[in-house]
Structure 1
C-alpha cells in the first residue's frame, strides 16, 4: 500500500474494495446471510471497475483472499465460479512476480546493494516497471537514495510486512482448500522467510519489535514492524523505522500464524513458535491500545506512518483477523476471549454505535469489522 491511490473516498481503489469485500463476507457468514445472494454482481462490478488501479503486489493479495473466501461459500451465492477465477488470477499475478524481484535483477551490478538479507520472501513491486509503480530510472532504495522520491520511492520494491503476510495467508488457505503441493511449497517458503526475520536476535532489526511490557509473564510481548530492516550488506532498507508498527500488519501476521497451524498441525500447540507469536502480538495490541488510546484501536499501534487514506484501514484489518483467530483456533480463545479483549471490543463497539454513520469506504469498513467481531465474540 502506498500514497497516491486516493480517490472517490475509496470506492474505486482496487485493494480497498477487496479489503472491504472480505469484511462484508464476514457479515454474511457470521451475522446475516439473507442478502448475500444479491451481492455478487456488486462485488464483481467493483472488481472489474477498479482492476486498472492495481499496481502493487499486495493489491492482488487482498482480492485473492476475499475471492477465495467467497468461493468457499456456495450456500451464500448462486454461482461462486467467478470468485474462484478471481482468486486464481490474483494468485498467479502475485506468485509469478512478487517472489522473483531479486532474481530478476541480481544480474545487474547496480542492484547488488539490494541483495536481501534473508532468502524466500516477496517484494511489493518490481524495481524496473515502466508504469510508475517501481521505475525511477535509477535503482530504487539504494542506501541514502530512496529512488530520488521521498514520498513514494521509499515504498517501492521493498519487502514490507503487508505483502509478505498476505502472500503467506493466501498460499496457506489455497493449500488448505485444495491440498495442492505447490501452494504448500509457497506457504512453507514464505513462513521460513518470516520465521528467520522473527528470530533475528538484534532487537533493532528483528521484524518483531519488543514491547517491554512490565507485567510478569508478558516479557516476550512483541509487535510486527512495518518492513524488514536491512539488506544483506547491513545497510538499512529505505524507509525503515524501528518504532513503526501498523495495526493491519498485526492482524495479518496473526492470521498467517493461525493458517500455519492449519497447514502444519504439528504447529497447532501452545508451545509452537506460530502459536506463541500470535498470542504475543494479540496481547501487545491489547496492551498498547489500552495504555495509549483508552481502549480504542488506532491505525498505528506504535509510531505514526503517513498516508491515512490507506493506513486507516488497519483498524478493520486487525478486527477481521482477530475474529478469524477466534473462529479458527479454539486454543487462541484464551487470548481473544480474555477479559482484556472483551473490554477492548466493547469499547470499540460503543465508539461505533455512539458515533454518526461514517462517510467513505474505509471508515464504513472499519465500523462493520468492529461490529461483526463484537456480535460474534461478545456472546456468552
Structure 2
C-alpha cells in the first residue's frame, strides 16, 4: 500500500507491480509512435529507437509492422549532421539486427550500422586501395542521397590533423592551442571551421563560453567507442560476416578504434593529475559520492609548457546519458579484455553509484513525491532544477535519462548484482510513473526528465519525456 505523509503519496513502501508497468509502457508506446514517426530528427529518433527496442523485448510485441517506421528513424537525410549522430544511428541499427527486430530487415539494419561506423571513421574504413565512398552501402533509407552531398569526409578522429583543410587560413598559433591533449583516441563531433571552433583560454573560467562543436565531448567519444566495440564483435557472427567481408571492411581498424578509445579514457579519467581537468568527477564539492564523467574534456595539449582550457568547459557539468554510455563502454570492454583490462574499465560500478547518489533529487510530480533522476546535473549548483545545459540545448539534453536507464538495463542483464542496491530507487520511480496522481513537477524547472517540453524541435522534443518514462518502466519490468 502507498504511504501517506503530509497529504502526499510517496514512492516508498510500494512493491513492484509488473503488470502496471507493462500497461503503462504500452500506453506510452502509443504516445511515442506518432511523434517518433514524424520527428524528422535522426539522432533523436535513433536514440529513441534504442529504448523502443527494449519495449519490444519486454512486451513481446510483434515488431514486423514497425519496420518502415524504424528504417525511417535511421534515415541520415533527416538532419544527420555531426558525427555523434551516426554513433546513435549505428548503435540502434546494430541492436535491431542483433535482437531480430523486424527480422526480414535484419541485414538492412546491419548495413546501416556498418555505414555509420565507416562515416565516423573516415578514410581507411576499407582495406581496398584506391578511391571508394564515405561508406559502403547505398541502400535505403536515404543513404544514397546523403552520399551525394557528403562525399568529402575527413572522419571524426582526424579533425585536428585536417584543420587547415576545413579552416583555411587558420593561424599556426591557434592550430597549436587546439591540439588534442591525448592521442591516439579521442574524436570530435564536427570539423573545425573559422566560425565553429572552441576558444582556448589560459585559465579556467567556469564554462563562460557557449561552444557545442567541434569539441571532444564525452557523448561523441562514447558512442564511437561503443559502436566500434560492438561492430568488431558483430563481425565474428557467421551470419553477419559476409556483409563486412564483401565491402572490404577494415576490421583491424575498427578493433583498434575501440582500444584507442579505452586508452584515451584511461588517460583522461585516471592519468590526468589535476582533478579539475580530469574527465572523472569524484569528490568535488557538492558531489554525494561515487563518480561521474564530465560532459567534455577540459583542455588542450600544452603550448610552451602552458595548458590552454576550453572556455566552455564547466567543471560541474555532467549529463545522465553520458553516465549510461560510459557504463556500457567500460563494462563491455572489460568483458572483452578478460585478462588484465586497463584499470579504467573497472570504473563502471562506481559510475552507477555516482549517478544514483547524485542524479536522484527530491521532487514532487503532482501529489507524488520522492527522489527522481535529473536529465543533466551541474554538480554544486545551488538550484539544479534550473541549471542551464551546455549551449542552452534543453531539448537534446532532456533525452539523457532514457539513455541512462537503457544502459542500466543492459548492465543488469549482463551482471544482475550490479543493480541490487539500487532496485528500490528504480522500483520507486516506476511506481510513481504509474501512479494516477503523477502530475506537474515541483520544484519546477526545465531540468526535468518526465514533463513533455517543446524547445523548438517539435515532436522530436515532445517524445523525449515519454521515452524517458518508458526506459524506466522497461528496466523496472526486467528487475521485478
- TM-score bracket relative to the smaller structure: 0.7 to 0.9
Q: 1:182 deviation in Å? A: 2.5
Cα–Cα, structure 1 residues 347 and 275, in superposed 2: closer, same or farther, change >3 Å? farther
The CA RMSD over aligned residues, in Å, is 2.8
Secondary structure in 2 matching 1:125: coil
Consecutive unaligned residues in structure 2, runs of 5 or more: 1-34, 123-154, 237-250, 364-369, 380-386, 440-449, 453-461
Q: 2:187 maps to which residue?
A: 122
Q: 1:164 maps to which residue?
A: 221
Cα–Cα, structure 1 residues 226 and 140, in superposed 2: closer, same or farther, change >3 Å? same
Q: 1:59 deviation in Å? A: 0.5
| Conserved? CA contact 1:61–1:170, under 8 Å | yes
The answer to whether residue 163 in structure 2 is matched with residue 105 in structure 1 is yes
Q: 1:38 maps to which residue?
A: 65
Match of 1:247 among 320, 323, 328: 320
Match of 2:260 among 164, 173, 189: 189
Superposed, 1:341-356 pairs within 5 Å as: 341-354=422-435, 355=438
Secondary structure in 2 matching 1:53: coil
Secondary structure in 1 matching 2:160: helix
Q: 2:111 maps to which residue?
A: 85
| Conserved? CA contact 1:175–1:263, under 8 Å | no
| Conserved? CA contact 1:211–1:284, under 8 Å | no
Secondary structure in 2 matching 1:245: strand
Match of 1:211 among 260, 277, 283: 283
4+ residue runs over 4 A deviation:
150-153, 212-215, 290-294, 356-359
The answer to whether residue 398 in structure 2 is matched with residue 296 in structure 1 is no
Count of equivalent residues: 346
Match of 1:315 among 398, 401, 416: 401
Match of 2:351 among 272, 281, 293: 281
Q: 1:374 maps to which residue?
A: 476
| Max Rg structure | 2
Cα–Cα, structure 1 residues 75 and 14, in superposed 2: closer, same or farther, change >3 Å? closer
CA distance in 1, matches of 2:451, 2:199: 41
| Conserved? CA contact 1:198–1:206, under 8 Å | yes
TM-score, reference length from structure 1: 0.83
CA distance in 2, matches of 1:224, 1:238: 19
CA distance in 2, matches of 1:170, 1:47: 15
Q: 1:260 maps to which residue?
A: 333
Q: 1:113 deviation in Å? A: 1.1
CA distance in 2, matches of 1:261, 1:84: 24
Q: 1:32 deviation in Å? A: 2.2
CA distance in 1, matches of 2:47, 2:209: 22
| Conserved? CA contact 2:65–2:102, under 8 Å | no
CA distance in 2, matches of 1:320, 1:267: 28
Q: 1:335 maps to which residue?
A: 418
Consecutive unaligned residues in structure 1, runs of 5 or more: 1-7, 129-134
Secondary structure in 2 matching 1:157: coil
Identify the structure with bigger relative contact order (alpha carbons < 8 Å, sequence gap 6+). Answer: 2
CA distance in 2, matches of 1:74, 1:346: 28
| Conserved? CA contact 1:143–1:235, under 8 Å | yes
| Conserved? CA contact 1:299–1:311, under 8 Å | yes
Deviations 1:241-283 (A, max 9, x none): 0000111100000000112123312257xxx624531011100
Bigger share in strand: 2
CA distance in 1, matches of 2:298, 2:112: 33
CA distance in 2, matches of 1:358, 1:239: 28
The answer to whether residue 49 in structure 2 is matched with residue 21 in structure 1 is yes
Bigger share in helix: 1
Secondary structure in 2 matching 1:80: helix
